[in-house]
Chain A
Amino acid sequence: MNNTTTMRGLGLALVLSVLAGCSSTSTQDADAGAGATDTGVTTGGAGSAEVNAVEEAPVQEEVLDTVFYFDFDQSMLRPDARAALTAHAERLKASPRSLRLEGHGDERGTREYNMALGERRGIAVRDFLSLQGVDASMIEVVSYGEERPASMGSSDSAYSQNRRVEMK
């Protein structure tokens, strides 16, 4: 009993720190988006490195990637996404929270078909988390298809930024 309470406390602290990390990252994103459309959302690298540097404290505070990218016409998780999601799953098991997975695609192909592909990507992430022991009933998958590109334009690099699932 006692143990559980401690766990919960720790979990809450973790969530708070993760939230703090997230919000700072998303501010960066907004700035990047406003400045140059090409930059788009590249949540991963810069954000996590920065936070790591600040926090070498005993509690693990690494900010995990919350955007997972996919190959063309694919809803299979890439290895880097699996690694990040495994870490997410551990945190979510320790401190469950409701989760929203937003699936997206690039502009090629028809809109409603891409809507279905976006959902498949969201479901792939949900199922992976669920296999890791996360309660699937806490996860909502919402597909946006090609309606909300992270990067405008019709280049391959824009497309690869747009085929993604965002965890919120």
Chain B
Amino acid sequence: MKNSAKLLVIRYVSIAALSFFSVFSANSALAQLTIEITQGVDSPVPIAVVPFSVTGGEAVPEDVAAIINADLRRSGLFRPIPQGDMLSFPRNQYEISFRDWRILGSEYLVIGGVTRKADKYSVRFELFNVLSQRSVHVQTVEAGLEQLRDLAHYASDQVFEKITGIRGIFSTQMIYIEAFQNGNVEQDKFRLMLADVDGARPRLLLESRQPILSPSWSPNGQEVVYVSYETGRPAIFRQELATQKREQLTNFKGLNGAPVWSPDGKRIALTLSKDGNPEIYTLDIASKQLARITRHFAIDTEPNWTTDGKGVIFTSNRGGKPQIYQVTLASGRIERLTFEGDYNARPRVSPDGKSLVMVHRENGVFHIAAQDIASGDMRILTETYLDESPTIAPNGAMLMYATRYRGKGILAAVSLDAGVKFRLPSKQGDVREPAWSPFFD
């Protein structure tokens, strides 16, 4: 990948194209979630990201180096060197004095520049290993004028992956629910939001006076599916992000809940109680054909697909208390997966298919726990209060969840080894039910 120019096609959702149902009120501004790191790893890798040079005219709207610094710091695995400590600001490899960076104890160095062209930005960045004094990676990427931030996240992804061997998630996004409630339902307001995974650039997808819940991504990252009460009862909708086009998928008597897209994108698994009791079904999106998966008088809900799409993992209280079960779709065979504790619910499977994360109750308190599927070993990952709705990053390294902080619903994140923790407090409303996007390519 030496010096290759790559044009990034970046997804952009226009707020102007909201569907008729959404009412966008200009006076209640979209609040951005900002990140507070609460715990990092014991010895994060020191790295210096030098302020990027700017050529081609006026000042640029984003500080690319600052975005890369923030991304790397948020990962918990890096310790960026403060700009004020830097002894030099090299703009190219000839200006680098590696001694300057060894003195600061920096193991890696990132330099780069932004060039403004007629209708796009070009960003060149280069990563050096300070000890070996070698270039590790150099690349030039271009994108439209509104996408400088995306280019910075792209550079972060590359730097992160070259050093850790793990694919970066800085270019991913999340959807979540924002709720404004004061106990008087007449004043309730619910919003389905889309934002960068660092909380930046929040965009409104749907606003309603009636509850919106259980948002979930399509595997290609182009659509979302969720439950909305806008008809006066729960119904499942899908919505294209680029066009805002919506389709109501279900309108059954009783529960219409917990929709999740299959890995091949053709079906959703969902909960319906139309036959008298909450059961798991699959719905073929094209043909609208329904298939009933579970048959039990207990509550069966919160389905999630196994990574191969051949099974569904779900919550059931068929043993008396909510626990997690797996059904193999072809045979209908059901197996119980969790045995520790008396409340395990809303499972999500890790991208490698090897572990489960879930809501686990211990001593009356709800935490997020991870379980190795093969061994059954469970670890509790969070220590906050009323933790719920875990969603795993597409690289499998982190998860986000909803919790309470100072009396408000907020999002928080933790690495799957529980070494890194941060939270994204909201300035307004209760924020909950995060769903981490897949990779967008």
Residues of A within 8 A of B (CB): 30, 33-34, 37, 40, 107-113, 115-117, 119-120, 140-145, 147-154
What number of A-B contacts does a CB cutoff of 8 Å give?
98
Complex contacts, B186 vs chain A, CB 8 Å: 30, 33
Distance from B403 Cβ to chain A, minimum over Cβ atoms (Å): 12
- Give which listed residue, B182, B233, B388, B404, contacts A111 with CB less than 8 A: B388
A110 B315 Cβ-Cβ under 8 A: yes
Asked whether A112 and B214 contact (CB < 8 A) given A119-B254, A120-B299, the answer is yes
B258 A109 Cβ-Cβ under 8 A: no
Answer yes or no: B142 CB below 8 A from chain A CBs. no
Complex contacts, B213 vs chain A, CB 8 Å: 111-112, 145, 147
B254 A141 Cβ-Cβ under 8 A: yes
- Give which listed residue, A34, A117, A149, contacts B299 with CB less than 8 A: A117
- Give which listed residue, B181, B182, B301, B404, contacts A112 with CB less than 8 A: B301
A108 B386 Cβ-Cβ under 8 A: yes
Docked pose: A119 CA to B188 CA in angstroms: 21
A144 B229 Cβ-Cβ under 8 A: yes
Leading 4 A-B pairs by shortest Cβ distance: A33-B184, A147-B211, A110-B346, A116-B299
- Which interface residue of B258, B404, B433 has the most chain A CB atoms within 10 A? B258
- Give which listed residue, B188, B233, B361, contacts A142 with CB less than 8 A: B233
Distance from A136 Cβ to chain B, minimum over Cβ atoms (Å): 12
Asked whether A112 and B366 contact (CB < 8 A) given A40-B183, A149-B181, the answer is no
Docked pose: A154 CA to B211 CA in angstroms: 19
The closest CB in chain B to the CB of A112 belongs to B258
Docked pose: A120 CA to B273 CA in angstroms: 10
B343 A148 Cβ-Cβ under 8 A: no
A34 B184 Cβ-Cβ under 8 A: yes
Complex contacts, A147 vs chain B, CB 8 Å: 211, 213, 229
A109 B404 Cβ-Cβ under 8 A: no
Answer yes or no: B271 CB below 8 A from chain A CBs. yes
Distance from A103 Cβ to chain B, minimum over Cβ atoms (Å): 10
The closest CB in chain A to the CB of B211 belongs to A147
Docked pose: A4 CA to B343 CA in angstroms: 54
Docked pose: A141 CA to B278 CA in angstroms: 13
Complex contacts, A120 vs chain B, CB 8 Å: 299
Complex contacts, A110 vs chain B, CB 8 Å: 302, 315, 322, 345-346, 359, 388-389
Answer yes or no: B330 CB below 8 A from chain A CBs. no
Complex contacts, A149 vs chain B, CB 8 Å: 181, 183
B273 A119 Cβ-Cβ under 8 A: yes
Residues of B within 8 A of A (CB): 181-186, 188, 211, 213-214, 229, 232-234, 253-255, 257-258, 271, 273, 278, 299, 301-302, 315, 322, 343, 345-346, 359, 361, 366, 386, 388-389, 404, 407, 433
B345 A113 Cβ-Cβ under 8 A: yes
The closest CB in chain B to the CB of A117 belongs to B299
Complex contacts, B278 vs chain A, CB 8 Å: 116, 119
- Give which listed residue, B185, B233, B389, B404, contacts A148 with CB less than 8 A: B185
Docked pose: A112 CA to B300 CA in angstroms: 10
Complex contacts, B388 vs chain A, CB 8 Å: 110-111
Complex contacts, A33 vs chain B, CB 8 Å: 182-184, 186
Docked pose: A63 CA to B302 CA in angstroms: 39
Distance from B29 Cβ to chain A, minimum over Cβ atoms (Å): 23
Complex contacts, B183 vs chain A, CB 8 Å: 33, 37, 40, 149-152
A116 B184 Cβ-Cβ under 8 A: no
Complex contacts, B389 vs chain A, CB 8 Å: 110-111
Known: A113-B315, A153-B407. 13 other contacts (CB 8 A): A37-B182, A108-B366, A109-B345, A109-B366, A110-B345, A112-B257, A112-B258, A115-B271, A119-B254, A140-B253, A143-B255, A152-B182, A154-B404
Docked pose: A74 CA to B33 CA in angstroms: 37
B255 A119 Cβ-Cβ under 8 A: yes
Docked pose: A37 CA to B404 CA in angstroms: 18
Distance from A150 Cβ to chain B, minimum over Cβ atoms (Å): 7
Docked pose: A7 CA to B189 CA in angstroms: 44
Asked whether A144 and B211 contact (CB < 8 A) given A30-B186, A107-B386, A108-B366, the answer is yes
Distance from A67 Cβ to chain B, minimum over Cβ atoms (Å): 13
The closest CB in chain B to the CB of A113 belongs to B345
Complex contacts, B404 vs chain A, CB 8 Å: 154
Docked pose: A149 CA to B184 CA in angstroms: 9
- Which interface residue of B229, B361, B388 has the most chain A CB atoms within 10 A? B388
Complex contacts, A30 vs chain B, CB 8 Å: 184, 186
Asked whether A142 and B299 contact (CB < 8 A) given A109-B343, A115-B257, A151-B183, the answer is no
Complex contacts, B407 vs chain A, CB 8 Å: 153-154
Distance from A162 Cβ to chain B, minimum over Cβ atoms (Å): 10
Docked pose: A149 CA to B187 CA in angstroms: 12
B233 A116 Cβ-Cβ under 8 A: no
Distance from B62 Cβ to chain A, minimum over Cβ atoms (Å): 36
A112 B346 Cβ-Cβ under 8 A: yes
